[in-house]
Chains A and B, each alone.
Chain A
Amino acid sequence: MARSEAPWEKSQELLVKAEDVTDPNFGHRPEERPPEEYLRFGLINLDKPAGPTSHEVAAWTKRILKVEQVGHGGTLEA
């Protein structure tokens, strides 16, 4: 019985094998995606209220944002 390191407590070491540059004409840094793309590849850190199920909450978000598909990361049910 002992406290162990949670994934978010672990340090993330960077090991560099080689160096290169990236072409600015292709792709975007995530924060710089144009709005429509930003939404398409986005997620919401939602504070789920009591009452509805996780699936219902995801469905509401889908309706509010008018998107064709949503998913959620881990059911929070009673």
Chain B
Amino acid sequence: MTGVLPITLLEATKVVQALLYSGKEYVCLMKLHGDAEEMRLKNVLKEFEDVIYQRPPLRSSVKRQLRTRRIYYLDFLEMDRRNVLFTVGCEGGTYIRKLCFDVGEVLGCGAHMQELRRTRAGPFLEKNSVALQEVAYSFAEYQQTQDERILKRFVQPMERALTLVPKIYVRDSAVDAICHGASLTAPGILSLEGEIKAGSMVAIFSLKFEAVALARAQASSEQIMDLSHGVVAKTERVLMPRGTYPKRWKSGGNANEQKSQ
């Protein structure tokens, strides 16, 4: 298998969980074990553009329980005798190998996944990916020249991984408390981006577009807009180092609230 594989460096590794559940896209070469009529094959493929059931294979690190996964789209590209090429957009954790097997079962003749290439992982696209050789070459060039622009050719800020995650932008004064694991309360909120549902993961961002933490939303976007106080999101993974922004926990209105409690 080849294709888009986001590699996180050092501290950026903390955003990995945001990627594991992000959507993926693949180009797949499937090999049929018998002859099938193209129109029929196309119809069967369309049947899988839905929520499907899958059990992780023997060789996997996750619990082998039956689970559902959504196939956003499954587009037939071409067919040559028993070779079938298609594009598939799906939820993270979908086994394309099993999808091919199941397509074969529905067709009746059987099939297997011959080759797979990942063309997208969340916000990361194949066309923007770099090869290992380029990483090695560019890094050597950077070490020689110390030219930062070379780094930017193959390294991206970790915030890129959170492009598809709903965000809450907060005031500078709220940042350091969150870096210490504090929950985000309503007064600290400036704006919301994307659809937030209660219980879903959100990314807390500063006004400089820095990722502060990953958190669990306690309310929906509409509810958050109306709240004047209370916990809006529970911090789950701090991304920004403590002390990046000044400590402002005990200042102003918040301190009075805390004292009276």
| Residues of A bordering B, CB below 8 Å | 1-10, 12-23, 26-31, 33, 35, 38-50, 54, 57-58, 60-61, 64-65, 67-74, 76-78
Contacts and interface: CB of A to CB of B under 8 A. Distances in A.
B46 A1 contact: yes
Contacts of B152: 31, 38
Task: List 10 A-B pairs, minimum CB-CB distance, nearest first.
Answer: A73-B19, A30-B157, A71-B13, A22-B207, A47-B129, A73-B6, A42-B155, A6-B72, A48-B5, A71-B8
Contact of B210 (A29, A50, A64): A29
Contact of A43 (B118, B146, B161): B161
Contacts of B46: 1
A77 B25 CA distance: 15
Nearest to B72: A6
Contacts of A45: 4, 6, 124-125, 128-130, 156
A44 B12 CA distance: 10
A69 to B, nearest CB: 5
A54 B20 CA distance: 14
A45 to B, nearest CB: 5
Interface in B146-184: 146, 148, 151-152, 154-161, 164, 166, 171-172, 175
B109 interface: no
Contacts of B206: 22, 27
B12 A6 contact: no
A5 B12 CA distance: 28
A54 to B, nearest CB: 6
B251 interface: no
A43 B7 contact: yes
A47 B126 contact: yes
Interface of B: 1-13, 15-16, 19-20, 22-25, 46-50, 70, 72-73, 89, 92, 116, 118, 120-126, 128-132, 135-136, 139, 146, 148, 151-152, 154-161, 164, 166, 171-172, 175, 189-195, 206-210, 221, 224-225, 240, 244-246
B9 to A, nearest CB: 5
A64 B116 CA distance: 27
B225 A15 contact: yes
Nearest to B47: A1
A27 B47 CA distance: 50
A44 B191 contact: no
Interface centre among A2, A6, A20, A39 (most CB of B within 10 A): A6
Contacts of B10: 39-41, 67-70
Contacts of A48: 1-5, 118
Contacts of B154: 44
Given A1-B49, A44-B135, A30 B209 contact: yes
Contacts of A77: 1
14 contacts: A1-B46, A7-B23, A12-B193, A14-B193, A15-B193, A30-B209, A35-B148, A38-B157, A45-B124, A45-B130, A45-B156, A64-B136, A64-B139, A74-B5
